[in-house]
């Protein structure tokens, strides 16, 4: 393995990450889905929406859209789908009765928390082993990777390691 002063050379790091990412995604997808959520045909986009509600609490469609970085109409459609299934509930905002607040329905709070806990526990284990600057580097690198993929139009397969 070729290295630079503090770690692997860029091409070695890229090779390692290209081999690692599919395994990470595969393992995350194999986390057991609690029985209460099986058969609901939940997609990764639903998981992201549910994670925001689980960790940040009830909020509006517009706020969820901003957090997920998608159009409010996209979130509204997902919320409608999950509301029909009984997973989410919409209530009037006490400060503005025209505005709806989206929350996880009580019957699904525990199963959703259980579903998310596998990934959360793994990340917590990793992050506890890092100092704050290292945690910031991991988060910054993942955000930058997401941005680079978006700018490449999802064409990351065209890049050749050197």
pLDDT digits (tens, 9 = 90+) for 143-155: 999 889 889 885 5
Secondary structure letter of residue 1 according to DSSP: -
Q: Which residue has the tokens 């988060």?
A: 139
Higher local confidence (pLDDT), 1 or 112: 112
Percent of the chain predicted with pLDDT > 90: 54
pTM over cut 0.85: no
d(CA 100, CA 90): 6
Any domain includes 72 = yes
Any domain includes 25 = no
Q: Whole domain around residue 54: which residue ranges? A: 31-156
Any domain includes 52 = yes
Give the strand pairing for 3-4 and 88-93: unpaired
Contact (Cβ atoms closer than 8 angstroms) between residue 41 and residue 56: no
CATH for 127: 1.10.10.10
What is the number of domains present in the chain?
1
Contact (Cβ atoms closer than 8 angstroms) between residue 78 and residue 49: yes
């Amino acid at each position: 393995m070729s290295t630079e002063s503090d770690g692997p050379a860029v091409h070695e790091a890229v090779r390692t990450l290209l081999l690692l990412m599919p395994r990470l995604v595969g393992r995350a997808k194999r986390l057991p889905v609690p029985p209460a959520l099986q058969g609901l045909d939940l997609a990764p986009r639903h998981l992201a929406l549910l994670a925001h509600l689980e960790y940040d609490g009830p909020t509006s469609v517009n706020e969820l859209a901003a957090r997920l970085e998608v159009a409010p109409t996209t979130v509204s459609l997902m919320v409608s789908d999950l509301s029909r299934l009984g997973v989410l509930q919409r209530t009037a905002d006490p400060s503005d009765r025209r505005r709806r607040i989206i929350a996880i329905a009580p019957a699904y709070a525990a199963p959703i928390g259980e579903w998310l806990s596998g990934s959360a526990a793994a990340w917590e284990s990793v992050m506890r082993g890092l100092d704050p600057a290292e945690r910031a580097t991991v988060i910054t690198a993942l955000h930058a990777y997401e941005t680079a993929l978006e700018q490449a139009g999802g064409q990351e397969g065209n890049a050749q390691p050197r």
